[in-house]
Amino acid sequence: MQKVKRIGEFIKKNLKWILLFLCTIIFLDLVEDVFEKEIMKLDIITYNFISTYLISDFVTPIAKIITNLGGAISLISITIILLVVLKNKKIGIAVMINLLISTVLNIILKNVVQRPRPNEFRLITETGYSFPSGHSMVSMAFYGFLIYLIYKLVKNSKIKWVIPVTFLAFFISFIFSFSSNTIMPKVNLFVGIIILLLFIAIGIVFDMIGVAVTSTDEEPLHAMSSKKIKGAKKAVSFKKNADKVSSFCNDVIGDICGIVSGSAGVTISTSLSEKLNTSVLYTGLVITALTAALTIGGKAFFKSIAIKNSNQIVHMTAKVLSIFEKKKK
């Protein structure tokens, strides 16, 4: 138990370095896949799905607007506005330096990897190498840095809560999506289905916790806390911050698992259609319908359990999380 607590303390103290290390590992794995051309299958699946189902008179203009927000004109314009408008010129200068460093780093990485652009249909015309994407990389660095500055400078606690939740949602979604999109094409159909069910189960469990936190009574938790029952104090904290806990469980984890399970379902339906020699469209509709049924049915079933056993569920969750808390001396 002490060893687990020490691991928890280490993670808390070095969280930003751990995240940086994980991001670096993910990026290096992508680079290796690009060099070895292992990512081509995923590219083909993604391209076929987008070109078949997402390119439309409604979606395409929206995609172009989002793309232009990461273009040079938009980023430079925002930087100039910040330099002119803000009284604290250090902020504008910091944004400008961040933009320059990310741009130069992107150019260096492109010339190291030297991945050519695809010759298929393009929404916009670009030249040069394709990986890593300049729009994606520079936009992430630019807007991510702006989010960090806003979080540091804004005093309103509610706004401060929204910012990290949004960023956390993006990060968790990216990790889950990366895991499903890189693992799914490499595993057999049975394992792929197990992974899909795992995503659905995670979403259902966190949805249940979110409902339990908002439904629980605070008095029994205080009673357990006064008796110094393990995890009770943390459970009281959960109840006092029920809006934030439920938002994280239901909106962040629950919704992300729903989105990612849908993405995993697309890969499964493609693989299944190849094995059964059937239409991808019809197979995809069946898999999507089954995924939705399991998700909605599971959440509906466990929601009633969460309401009836809210105190026990909240206390059990707090007890598990308390293992990773720093031991108070």
Full DSSP string of 229-280: -TTHHHHHHHHHTHHHHHIIIIIIIIHHHHHHHHHHHHHHHHHHHHHHT--H
Q: Which residues contact 326 (CB under 8 A, 6 or more apart)?
A: 5, 8, 9, 12
Structure tokens at 48: 């076929």
Query: For residue 328, is pLDDT > 50?
Result: no
Quote the pLDDT of residue 261: 80
**Per-residue pLDDT averaged across 139-168, rounded?**
72
* Cβ proximity of 323 and 5 under 8 Å: yes
**Per-residue pLDDT averaged across 188-217, rounded?**
85
Q: Identify which of 307, 280, 278 has the alpha carbon closest to the alpha carbon of residue 211.
A: 307
* Cβ proximity of 266 and 208 under 8 Å: no
Query: For residue 88, is pLDDT > 50?
Result: yes
pLDDT in tens, 156-166: 666 666 666 67
What percentage of the chain has pLDDT greater than the value 90?
A: 0
Quick one: residue 231, left, alpha or beta (phi over 0 = left, psi -120 to 50 = alpha)? left
Quote the pLDDT of residue 196: 84
| Global model pTM greater than 0.75 | no
Query: For residue 189, is pLDDT > 80?
Result: no
Query: For residue 209, is pLDDT > 70?
Result: yes
Q: Is the peptide bond before 185 cis (omega within 30 degrees of 0)?
A: no
Structure tokens at 320: 């598990």
pLDDT averaged over every residue in the chain: 76
Quote the pLDDT of residue 329: 42
Quote the pLDDT of residue 71: 75
Q: What's the pLDDT band for 173 if we cut at 50, 70, 90?
A: low
The CB density around residue 222, as the number of other CB atoms within 10 Å, is: 15
Q: Can you count the helices (H) and strands (E) in the chain? A: 15, 0
pLDDT in tens, 216-268: 887 887 888 787 777 778 888 888 888 878 888 887 787 778 777 877 787 78
H helix or E strand, kind and range, residue 140? helix 134-153
pLDDT in tens, 25-80: 877 777 777 777 666 666 666 666 666 656 666 666 766 777 777 777 888 888 88
Quote the pLDDT of residue 167: 66
Pairwise CA distance, residues 238 & 225, whole Å: 13
Quote the pLDDT of residue 327: 46
Query: For residue 174, is pLDDT > 70?
Result: no
pLDDT in tens, 293-324: 888 898 889 888 888 888 888 888 888 877 76
* Cβ proximity of 188 and 286 under 8 Å: no
